[in-house]
């Protein structure tokens, strides 16, 4: 329910067209559909102009199925399911579900036509970072951004990265995914003149501590213009990058 | 030296107008001015259309003064000095330096006229977060963004925050600065439909561990569209927010 | 053995009705029944007016069975077994055992009739927190409290929580279970005027560090009236909430 | 503004006695008084029946003075200022301010007459824990609870604690303040049959890590009925203890 | 080779009975028998009057078998194999091997007759600590100490522990094994007047961090006379306790 | 009150010579003397045959003075005050107080004549570890042990340590104090055949983390017979070493 | 492409023999061969005179196979595949692949003839450190160094290490691999007069924290001349040791 | 005493020229000079061909003075004192002491003539890293290495570093000193073909955790040929770099 609808409703109360109790009921029940175990925010799409997301990891296949169906019934065709294991994907009975195994994402309703201000670059330090990078790239595409992938350009061979200077210089936003020492984000931010979202991955061993080394490295970047998301949070990086790629101009979207 | 200048220079080499050695010399020496203890990147402003920044904390007043003067001599009028203690600010002999004590910032050349796409909101959870928030707000203003401050609206009294829903809904970017449990970023990201930059502060005691609690809270935000900068890194938050506020439209700035 | 019985016994000693040795023997052997691998405190129920609890995780099915049987023989009908895996529950041969798989709890002797001062609200941030929340809710019910569940009301969509303001305002105690950034506890404590027990869960990934992020967030809550239990310690939260719900009035229970 | 007032206001809107705009204005402005740097929640006292609290640590003496005066002007006589250093206390010009140096608390409007259900026991492991314990005890007294102090009864000499069994058995709530290994909370919780709030202190050295050792010990207590507050958070422990001591009976306060 | 043998050998060199090269060879090769992958110190028994120990965890069954056989050939009948999994124990073909599954220990050559100064008490907080406690108890028995086990006497029910005051008061050394909050060591050290070796176990969950909570608690014990071994290091506790139980009197063993 | 006195008292109760109330009173009041801020255990000396210890760090000079005087009045002449800063020592008005500045110890009543079974060796890795080592050595001397100091024999020059093999081989107990990597304890435990108490110190910088590196190193010692005390806990090491040096023989002290 | 080739190419551009575009194309495409998921740096061998390395852990067998084949096609015969599990090794269809199971290494093109300045010693503290040590030793051999293995010479029996003083004194570089307390590196560095590379391993349990204890111990070594690599990073230690063993003399290789 | 001297001494014993006791005495006393608080290894210079080092931080000026004098008396003219504060340097009365304030080093006997195989490059990420870098550079010079300093070439402006490619390509060893995210080491190691010693500094704030972020980043470097020293351990980096620069060729120094 947007602010105009709210204003209308309140006007009705003031004019006696609507009882206080009835209005209260509508206000309370409307934006959330209760399934017992989950409250779906079916109005988020209206508010944000984008699809809804289901965080699949802690949910059973049955719970995911019920949630997606309820969304479909409420007219929300486009749904993104993150951290969806192959086993759960196999068990789901949802028409039109596409499954991206590398990224562990499920999508219904297809990708959105790109309608952002420019292009998002998703770069990785190594081959092992690709699954997380794909989660970011596909998420950004789901929300209507064009994405260019530049993989395996870690700083140990800086010329591999420099060979892609043009693409990086023309990007709207860059997502820099790297594990181990996570230096990629700093080097790219030193080269680019657009926002860089650093995406630490859990690739590494020993003192990488499951991604903590990369995370700390990125938080302490000596380059300006870097912000960071959680370890392996490809969704978060892709979502925010697409949000930046769609920011309203002139105070209006 | 921007890409057009570079192309011109290379053309000259190809045409024999310029020797390889001479070109190499120009390329090497130009963008960096060496002071012995510091290499100043005097071309960053050209590349990024913005002023240069000096990280004041680990430098002596003498070093800062020498760096700023070299910049001024190279035609870089607008300089931002971060983490500048009152003692060092006092010791500096730089014409036209304005000092902002709360934010520990020094600025030469004045603020830039706002020329971004919209307005940046800087919100804080408490009164103690204001110094870091001011560092963010003034940085964003230095780089040409209009800023609205909404301070002391922590989640312990959620109605204080809800009273500012309008400003938050109209922001281009929100910077959410909070210490202690850092929940402000999640709550704002759940309300807003623009990118949120979470800025953890070191306000707190005991198990806040100097801002680590807020940092972790923000990295693990259950709300989409949040990215995080280092603890107390007001500059980083303000810089990236302003960068987002100025992103090029249609692949061109 | 309660304090009245103890007083009587000591009187008997003073009056010569009972030898020191005999009294010592009774005192020593009575309250604890030794099984070789476990000392069961069969008088705790008398002391605290509640059932006995068996922490199932580190015990074999055989050990659990022997302990519960010894309790039953000593007249302790109502027993709560926590952290009981489905495999162990399957292996147990205990008459009248009810098993709650989501919460991994086993109960003999049934739930107690609610006899507390009011109602306990158990709220969760997401669907993934439900198993821990159920451990809390069922524990509170086992100890005689009425419980209302409000699940999946995380702060990323604050209106979902605000829709339940009435229930929260009328609660005697609120248990706020959340993983990831754990902000739910602070927001609820800012809204409610009763004690809030924060229950961090291990839901999350990356820098959630198995619940540490939520734990720290809750310990640093900027809202007053919050205390915290161990990560995933649903039992502890439910037990203390029920204890608060039954505190004696006027210095007497 | 409590729920009755809100209901009345909404009735007025429905009856046309109040315009929507006027009502909205009152709703928005009323509960919060803006000082520029702080939003004071002047209605919390109405909601919770208690005085307001100012967290003094990150505020200047000037800010504290302005906040307390605004409260006094709004009719909030009783104010508790926590973490108030002797230097700031000295600098404050507030009529009727009492300063408790050991606990670093300032109080205006005096203590409240005890009106709780029973008595709160505040126990410490050692002499070094007394400042934090006093913060807890005075906070509880400020909010209307009778408090009994039992200091220096650490578990290294368990007979010192056992000598106070009667007081502990008759308490409504016990606050167990301890640093170092923090075992006091577990031992008391094993003895008492009321809620125990564990209050870790930063007393210790080496691997006590500023109170982390005590904090972890208390979170992992093998005794039931223990919850924990932040390290050195005497205010939080005292506030929640008093809240428990005043919980409404029969669903109504 | 003890000091007398060394003196004799050196005398022989001085007297020309032995060439320097030959002596050097004997000195180098003697005390260590090289198997390629392991250097067995077959003289440790001579030096310390006790059996040899094989740390089984990182070795294959084949490696363990070869090491034990080499010891047997060198006349070392009594061998203790620690951290020996049931699978490896099953795979070993060593005559006279006794396997203790709870403690995951293998022993050849049988237990030694108790010949220490007194009795060692091994106490545990709970049932889950028994495997580690048994590793300690059996190790102490292997090295010739009489051991008394007092299990499941955690501080949550302090009377269970107090019922065993006599045994504790008469012990030569007490090993206090506990997980979770590890308070047992402090309470026992406050009661006993002999050295207490604190043995943290990894029993617990959440913020017990695999035994770190108990470890820190024990290191910070407010009771005097406590020292600590590594988490789950039953062998180390039992070995040192037995060493204390056998210390030489009057400067001579 | 030792066990014989207790037995006598209880006999009197059984025979009617003493009322229950009177006995209870004596039992309760006797062993503890309450000063308001501290409960002194004046009977510990009787129980353990040793002097009493005051942990000076968190106490004011006034508190220390009051405690020591109360002890003196109760006939406890020999008192050890630990972590006593020069400033507090200066401020104390206690007759016969000797102050050891390096070790930050104060002692009244003088050292005890050595009456242990043998000699304690206190070794340090470097010069910086000496203050903590002195705290250990003087504590052991206070409790009646002969101590031999072997300082600055760190493993970086192993021949410095090997030059002292004789003293180490003849020790009853060795205390190995070291900061940085803390390897001294392992090397000594590999050489000695007596218990080794590892005493980590906070000497070091960077990743020594205030002694954590040495602490972990010592807890993970690959040598048998090592136990560990808290970082910089010279008192604890000296106390336990002296306790081992005085253990009763034949089950009787 | 080495610097001479680059100079030649640039000369051609200057002389008009080569167009800017063509040169750019060659420069860009040559040194890196793109496989879509990996950018192979086929010129590293030319630059560094050594074989190429594939980090096998995060790659599928298919990816590894494709990368190695591309290298072979580009004339890179000698390839080292690290962290190659037996399962992946089994699945690889690569002619001439030798697999070293203990070290989890695969090698094509055989070992290089030793051509370093001297010999590298690889020492381990225990048997459990051998897999990591073998990774280091085989890596050094792959890059042309002679290696001497000295295994199971931990500091708990220092004479085992001293028996190998000659080899250690004659080494060019020593790699000291150890888990648990990691003291081996310090002791060897105190004995040797060559660089020591400390290689912490994850052998241990409890407070060894997967190798962190050894890592910290080695970083804080009190001996000079020690540097450290990541936990279990046998490759890194072997690679750098071989690099040191091959450093150019007189400023030229 | 080197191995030749030892051989001669042993020959004398075998030939009866020297008694066993006399030889033993010489062996024991010679290499170490005892000052009571410090054992000086006056033969290290003989063994390693270099000066002796005094770690100044934990020592008093008096202790340092006594140690240096003893060295001078034993003919050790060249002494390096590390971590020497200006205050202590001022207090020292040592003839010929040169003090380097930035690096906090004191040197007697002057720098050694460069006699290494090549040149060491010391690079820093920023101006703040210079003190630690100077400690490394001066240490390397003290031990006879030529050093080239390249300061303030952090990865945020990669062209500043690339401008120095020639010096880096010609170095024998590179020391890369950086704080914050520490990416400099990885980038240099990717460019250079010589050993890189990574030197993390404590420059930074917030989540740099006093240099831990840089340390972890360097340990996890994705580039081969990097090893790491302790945070701010400029001495260690310079010492090992110089050691590498002087390694013996052909198995002989």
pLDDT tens-digit readout, H174-203: 999 999 989 999 999 988 889 999 999 999
Q: Which of residues 99-118 of F touch E (CB under 8 A)?
A: 117-118
Q: E with B: 3 or more CB pairs under 8 Å?
A: no
pLDDT band at B250 (very low <50, low <70, confident <90, very high): low
How far does the CA of residue G57 sit from the closest CA of chain F (Å)? Answer: 29
> What would the mean pLDDT of D177-190 be, rounded to a whole number?
92
Given pLDDT bands bounded at 50, 70 and 90, which one contains residue G9? low
D227–C227: do the CB atoms touch at under 8 Å?
yes
> Of G32 and A99, which is predicted with more confidence?
A99
- Residue A85, pLDDT > 60, answer yes
Cβ–Cβ below 8 Å for H155 and A220? no
pLDDT given for residue H35 in this prediction: 58
Test G159 with E215 for CB contact under 8 angstroms.
no
Alpha carbon of D154: minimum distance to chain F alpha carbons (Å): 9
The phi and psi torsions of B109 (rounded to 5 degrees) equal 85, 0
Chains A and B: 3 or more CB pairs within 8 Å of each other: yes
**Average pLDDT over chain B, rounded to whole?**
83
Contact E225 F248 (CB under 8 A): no
Confidence of residue C31 (pLDDT cuts 50, 70, 90): very low
Distance from CA of A249 to the nearest CA of B (A): 5
B235 Cα to chain A: minimum distance (Å): 9
Nearest chain G Cα distance for residue H245, angstroms: 8
Chains that touch G (3 or more CB pairs under 8 A): A, B, E, F, H
User: Exposed e or buried b for every residue in H162-188, given b needs 16+ CB within 10 A?
Assistant: ebbeeebebbbbbbbbbbbbbbbbbbb
B226: β partners = B196
Task: Confirm if B88 and B56 have CB atoms less than 8 A apart.
Answer: yes
Q: Mean of the per-residue pLDDT values for chain E? A: 83
Residue of H nearest to B39 (CA): H152
Nearest chain C alpha carbon to A63: C127
Residue C169's pLDDT is 84
With a pLDDT cut of 70, the percent of chain A lying above it is 79
In contact, E238 and E174? CB cutoff 8 Å:
no
Give yes or no for residue D1 having a pLDDT over 50: no
> Which chain F residue has its CA at the smallest distance from D213's CA?
F230
pLDDT band at B51 (very low <50, low <70, confident <90, very high): low
Contact H216 A217 (CB under 8 A): yes
d(C-alpha H153, C-alpha B40), whole Å: 10
Residues C84-109 have a mean pLDDT of 95
Say whether the H–D interface has 3 or more Cβ pairs within 8 Å.
no
The β-bridge relationship of strands B119-124 and B146-150 is parallel
pLDDT of E178 over the 60 cut: yes
Touching C: B residues 115-144, CB under 8 Å: 125-126
Average pLDDT over residues F140-150: 95
Q: Do D205 and F230 touch (CB under 8 A)?
A: yes
Phi, psi of B46 (to 5 degrees): -60, -45
Chains F and B touch (3+ CB pairs under 8 A): no
CA–CA separation, E43 and E45 (whole Å): 5
The CA distance from E86 to the nearest CA of chain G, in Å, is 18
Residues within 8 A of A (CB atoms), D 6-65 only: 10-11, 13-14, 16, 19-20
Closest-approach residue (CA) in chain E for G165: E28
Is the pLDDT reported for residue F24 higher than 50? Answer: no
What is F119-251's CATH number, 3.40.50.1970, 3.40.50.10860, 3.40.50.10490, 3.40.50.10260? 3.40.50.1970
Q: Which residue among F49, F230, F249 sits closest to E249, beta carbon to beta carbon? A: F249
Q: Partners for F (CB, 8 Å, 3+ pairs)?
A: C, D, E, G, H
The pLDDT-based confidence of C33 (bands split at 50, 70, 90) is low
Over residues D161-171, mean pLDDT: 86
Evaluate whether chains G and C are touching (3 or more beta carbon pairs less than 8 Å apart). Answer: no
- Domain locations in chain C? 19-108, 119-251
Residues E37-49 pLDDT 10s: 556 554 444 444 4
| Statement: residue C35 has pLDDT above 50 | yes
pLDDT of E185 above 80: yes
| pLDDT of residue F38 exceeding 70 | no
Q: D50 to chain E, minimum CA–CA distance in Å?
A: 34
Q: Do G155 and F187 touch (CB under 8 A)?
A: yes
CA B137-B138-B143 angle, 5° bins = 100
Q: Residue E213's closest chain G neighbor by CA? A: G207
Tally E–F CB contacts below 8 A: 110
Take residue G87 and report the two structure tokens written for it: 């399962």
**F163 neighbourhood in chain H, CB within 8 Å:** 28, 32
**Residue A11 has what pLDDT?**
60
Q: CA-to-CA distance for C56 and C77, rounded, in angstroms?
A: 17
Nearest CB to E208 within list D156, D220, D223: D220
C124, β-bridge pairs: C177
Minimum Cα–Cα distance from E12: chain H residue = H14
| Nearest-CA distance B251 → chain G (Å) | 24
Q: Which residues from chain C sit within 8 angstroms of residue F11, using beta carbons?
A: 20
- Low-confidence stretches of chain H (pLDDT beneath 50): 1-7, 23-32, 42-49, 251-253
The chain D residue lying nearest B180, using CA atoms, is: D230
Chains E and A touch (3+ CB pairs under 8 A): no
Q: Taking residues G120-137, what's their average pLDDT?
A: 96
How far is Cα A244 from Cα H240, in angstroms, rounded to an integer? 48
Does the beta-carbon distance from E217 to D221 stay under 8 Å? no
Looking at chain D, the whole-number percentage of residues with pLDDT higher than 90 is 58
The reply to whether residue B195 touches residue A53, judged by beta carbons under 8 angstroms, is no
Q: If 0-12 CB within 10 Å is exposed, 13-18 middle and 19+ buried, where does residue F21 land? A: exposed
Task: Please name which of G125, G126, G149, G129 lies closest in space to residue G137, comparing C-alpha atoms.
Answer: G149
User: In D, residues 167-206, which contact E (CB 8 Å cutoff)?
Assistant: 180-183, 186-187, 189-191, 204, 206
Q: What is the mean pLDDT of chain G?
A: 84
Q: What would the 3-class secondary structure string for chain F be?
A: CCHHHHHHHHHHHHCCCCCHHHHHHHHHHCCEEECCCCEEECCHHHHHCCCEEEECCCCCHHHHHHHHHHHHHCCCCCEEEECCCHHHHHHCCCCCCEEECCCCEEEECCCCCCCCCCEEEEEECCHHHHHHHHHHHHHHHHCCCEEEEECCCCHHHHHHHHCCHHHHHHCCEEEEEECCCCCHHHHHHHHCCCCEEEEECCCCCHHHHHHHHHHHHHHCCCCCCEEECCCCCHHHHHHHHHHHHCCCECCEC
pLDDT (tens digit, 9 = 90+) per residue, B143-186? 999 999 999 998 887 878 888 888 888 899 999 999 998 999 99
Structure ipTM: 0.82
Report chain H residues whose CB lies below 8 A from the CB of F162: none
pLDDT at A2: 37
Give pLDDT tens digits for D185-216. 999 998 888 999 999 999 999 999 999 999 99
Contacts of G205 (CB under 8 A, 6+ apart): E57, E83, E230, E231, E232, E233
Q: Chain A: nearest CA to C174, how far in angstroms?
A: 18
Q: Is the pLDDT of residue F25 over 70?
A: no
Tens-digit pLDDT profile for residues E51-103: 688 999 988 999 999 999 988 887 788 999 999 999 999 999 998 999 999 99
Residues of E in contact with C41 (CB under 8 A): 157, 160
Tens of pLDDT, residue by residue over A208-221, are 999 999 999 999 99
- Collect all residues of chain F within an 8 Å Cβ-Cβ radius of residue H210: 206
Least confident of B10-14, B29-33, E154-158: B29-33
Comparing alpha-carbon positions, the chain E residue that sits nearest to H24 is E10
> Does B13 contact G13 at a Cβ distance shorter than 8 Å?
yes
Distance CA F169, CA F156 (A): 21
Q: Please give the pLDDT value at position G142.
A: 95
Q: According to the per-residue pLDDT averaged within each range, which of A27-31, B139-143, E156-160 is highest?
A: B139-143
Predicted pLDDT at F19: 66
Residues on chain H touching A158 (C-beta within 8 angstroms)? 158, 187, 190-191
Distance from CA of H19 to the nearest CA of E (A): 8
What Cα–Cα distance (Å) separates residue B26 from each residue in C21, E86, G139?
102, 73, 43
């Amino acid at each position: 329910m947007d602010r105009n609808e709210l204003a209308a409703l309140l006007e009705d109360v003031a004019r006696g067209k609507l009882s206080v109790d009835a209005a209260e009921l509508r206000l309370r029940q409307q934006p959330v559909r209760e399934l017992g175990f989950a409250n779906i925010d079916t109005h988020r799409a209206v508010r944000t102009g984008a699809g809804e997301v289901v965080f699949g990891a802690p949910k059973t296949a049955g719970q995911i199925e019920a949630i997606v169906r309820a969304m479909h019934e409420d007219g929300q065709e486009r749904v993104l399911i993150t951290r969806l294991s192959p086993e759960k994907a196999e068990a789901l009975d949802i028409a039109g579900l596409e499954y991206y195994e590398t990224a562990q994402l499920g999508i219904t309703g297809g990708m959105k036509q790109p309608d952002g201000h420019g292009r998002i670059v998703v770069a990785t330090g190594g081959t092992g970072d690709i699954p997380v990078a794909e989660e970011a790239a596909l998420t950004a595409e789901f929300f209507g951004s064009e994405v260019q992938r530049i993989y395996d350009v870690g700083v140990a061979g800086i010329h591999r990265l420099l060979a892609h200077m043009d693409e990086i210089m023309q990007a709207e936003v860059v997502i820099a995914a790297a594990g181990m020492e996570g230096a990629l984000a700093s080097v790219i931010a030193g080269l680019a003149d657009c926002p860089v979202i650093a995406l630490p991955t859990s690739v590494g061993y020993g003192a990488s501590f499951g991604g903590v080394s990369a995370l700390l490295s990125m938080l302490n970047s000596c380059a300006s213009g870097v912000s960071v998301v959680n370890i392996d949070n490809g969704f978060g990086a892709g979502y925010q990058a697409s949000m930046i790629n769609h920011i309203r101009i002139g105070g209006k979207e």
